[in-house]
Structure 1
Amino acid sequence: MSTTLDAAKTRAGVKLARQVFLLRLLGLGLGAVAVGGVLYEQGHDWPAWALLFGNGYIWPFVAYALSRRSSNPRAQEQRNLIVDSAMGGLWIAVMQFNFMPSLLLFVTLTMDKLAFGGWKLLPRTVGIQLLTCALVSWMLGFGFAPESSLPVMLACVPHFVAYPLTVASVTHGLLQLSHRQRLEITKLARTDPLTGLLNRGHWEQKALDEIQRFQRSHSKASLLVIDIDHFKNINDRYGHLAGDKVIKAFADTISSVTGKSDSAGRYGGDEFVVVLPNATIAEASDIAQRIQARIREVDIEGGPSRLLSTSIGVAALERGIDTLDDWIGRADVALYKAKAGGRDRVVEAPSMTAAFKPPIPSQ
């Protein structure tokens, strides 16, 4: 288990390193253009240009390779970001604090650290940047020439335009991914993993909502409790994998018959529940019979060759039903009568003010 988790963390770290690589390549590459404008005006020799080229166009690939080969890519990427900060401090000192490109480097590198490691990483990287800047400035004689010429400012424009737009695009993509993940988590939290139907907690809440609505406005609602006939025999004879296929097929059939406003869920084992808002018991029975008809058409590969069938109990929401247990209990009693009467049938729970209705035989 630990090995699997470590592998997952490594894959996530490599994916993160790839995202940082693309931003580093763009940011340092365009940053090198801005710094190069100052180096040109100051008349630097080839060693400075070679170092700038290496930092802007070779270092991003080296940093990415280090992260990919590391057993902890995220930790390695933090070290790479520290190198970025140190080099930023070096170039600010070499440019003698030329205002526009120095501001560009400081703000961009600070933004990168905040985006990657938050406020926890920022003090260390800014401290290293300032220390490197002070040390290099001391070595070069504390030169100070903050004025930025028009050519230097123009050299900063590509970075000022392209880099923020790219960061915004990446951020938007991450937000979209986060939104999809939240939706998936919400779905997993309320659905049964095998069937995709609502889990017990969620369909029970839907049923409770209908009870409360009935108590306020006496609105119609009905409940189906559905049981797969002879499911234990199917499991024993064909195995649990075939049993799972049967359960999934039943769930898909129920979903295909019920409407968007209905709430179909798994009760447990081989039993299902459907909450039908605004449905009379007659309308609910019609839906139950349509479910039965569809079930008879289901063919399970590796499962039973005979026709599948289901028994269904139907209970309308009415006066005298005050709790969810009351409602489910009435549908359960009807389901029991359906099974006792030969299975493969729908039984309506009698109204509390009317005589019991006979089972509806299969057609």
Structure 2
Amino acid sequence: MDNQQGKGLSFAKRIYLPRVVGMGIGCLSVFAGLYPVQQPSWVWALLLFNGFLWPHLAYLISTRAAFPYQAERRNLWCDSLFGGIWAAAMQFNPLPTVTILAMMAMNNLAAGGLHLFIRGFFAQLGGVLLAWLLLGPAFTGHTTQWQIYACLPMLILYPMALGMVCYQLAIKLFEHKHALRALSRTDSLTGLLNHGAWKDLLHLKFTKCQQQRCQGTIALIDIDHFKRINDSHGHILGDTVLHQLSCDLKHNLRQGDLTGRYGGDEFCVILPATSLQQAREVMERLREVFSHYRHPDIPQLRVSLSIGLAAWHPGLSDAAMWLIEADKALYAAKNSGRNKVASASQESHAFLAAMNDS
């Protein structure tokens, strides 16, 4: 219900400005159409109410209603009803009538699409019948020059006001879409790229290295004995450790490095234009920084990282092979004592072969 109310209030605020502008300057067009036909005084009083009081009253009604969206749609229906009344009261003077009814139809289409447009049409028809019942049917087929001039502000200013509202709405929708796209690519706990987003970038970087024969290195990072941390101290502390690593990654890597959470306690980094040796220096620094972390409530807790590195080389057929090499290097680091950085080199491959043989 709170979500519906929020949407309704936003809708009412969007309608408020076009209604104030449209009703205000629309009074001039209606006045020009009414003046020659000598309508009773209550019609003029209703015109003043509709033009200058109704927009603010409608806003108060919708914003204070339990369901603002539904209340605002009823207000739009009343707008159309008034439009039909003025068309009949002006005795269907061609230009003022078309101006008023067309602007209201435009507003209904912009606010609620075809459904509201149709409802508005029947409301206008109801307004015509009500005015005929009170004033009697009559028709005026001639529009004077000063009536043409009186309709110009409505024809110029109201579409501008409505267009500005639609433009602002389009900007907000673009911003929301951009924010949702960012959220869909971000891991909620760490604020880093999620698994899918990072792998998409890995494919792009692999293609760039392949086409331009440029350097690039990837790193897979694993928190040593993370399951033991969760089992001994709980998942809340485990999440704190994950968050700490994400902070260290953000603060100790270069601006162009692309960091993501690969899954569980495993993180991943793409280091563009970076040799294997340069990447090793960066990761050694990260490993050292993270090892100094101390939790204020559990000072005896010690953390460390195992890191596997793989540099791009022409022998890689695709991004998956590149990732497999980094994973093999990580496996070598974990199985040779942990808390170290290993690279996808002949030595690590030989170590893995020995492990498999044993």
Q: TM-score scaled to structure 1, two decimals?
A: 0.84
Q: Secondary structure at the match of 1:313?
A: strand
Residues 1:22 and 1:238: Cα distance change in structure 2 (over 3 Å): farther
Larger mean CA deviation between 293-302 and 223-232 belongs to: 293-302
Matched ranges for 1:142-221 at <5 A = 142-150=138-146, 152-221=147-216
1:73 equivalenced with 2:68 (yes/no): yes
The Cα shift of 1:192 comes to 1.2
Residues 1:266 and 1:144: Cα distance change in structure 2 (over 3 Å): same
Is there any run of 5+ residues in structure 2 with no aligned partner, and where? 352-358
1:288 equivalenced with 2:283 (yes/no): yes
The Cα shift of 1:268 comes to 0.8
Q: Which residue number corresponds to residue 243 of structure 2?
A: 248
Q: Which residue number corresponds to residue 77 of structure 2?
A: 82
Larger mean CA deviation between 155-164 and 277-286 belongs to: 155-164
Q: Which residue number corresponds to residue 8 of structure 1?
A: 3
Report the AA paired with residue 228 of structure 1. I
The Cα shift of 1:299 comes to 5.7
Q: Decide whether the 8 Å contact of 1:17 with 1:68 is kept in 2.
A: yes
Give the total of aligned pairs: 350
Q: Which residue number corresponds to residue 331 of structure 1?
A: 326
Larger mean CA deviation between 307-316 and 125-134 belongs to: 125-134
Q: Which residue number corresponds to residue 140 of structure 1?
A: 136
Is there any run of 5+ residues in structure 1 with no aligned partner, and where? 1-5, 357-363
Report the AA paired with residue 146 of structure 1. H
The Cα shift of 1:131 comes to 4.8
Residues 1:353 and 1:233: Cα distance change in structure 2 (over 3 Å): closer
The Cα shift of 1:259 comes to 3.6
Q: Which residue number corresponds to residue 22 of structure 2?
A: 27
Residue in structure 2 matching 1:95, options 82, 90, 108: 90
Q: Decide whether the 8 Å contact of 1:264 with 1:274 is kept in 2.
A: yes
Percent of residue pairs bearing the same amino acid type: 34
What is the alpha-carbon distance in structure 2 between the residues aligned to residue 305 and residue 165 of structure 1? 67
What is the alpha-carbon distance in structure 2 between the residues aligned to residue 146 and residue 140 of structure 1? 19
Cα deviation digits, residues 148-172 of structure 1 (max 9, x gap): 342x444444434443332222222
What is the alpha-carbon distance in structure 2 between the residues aligned to residue 107 and residue 254 of structure 1? 59
Superposition CA RMSD, Å = 2.9
Q: Which residue number corresponds to residue 47 of structure 1?
A: 42
Residues 1:34 and 1:336: Cα distance change in structure 2 (over 3 Å): same
The Cα shift of 1:305 comes to 6.1
What is the alpha-carbon distance in structure 1 between the residues aligned to residue 114 and residue 156 of structure 2? 25
Q: Secondary structure at the match of 1:322?
A: coil
Larger mean CA deviation between 275-284 and 86-95 belongs to: 275-284
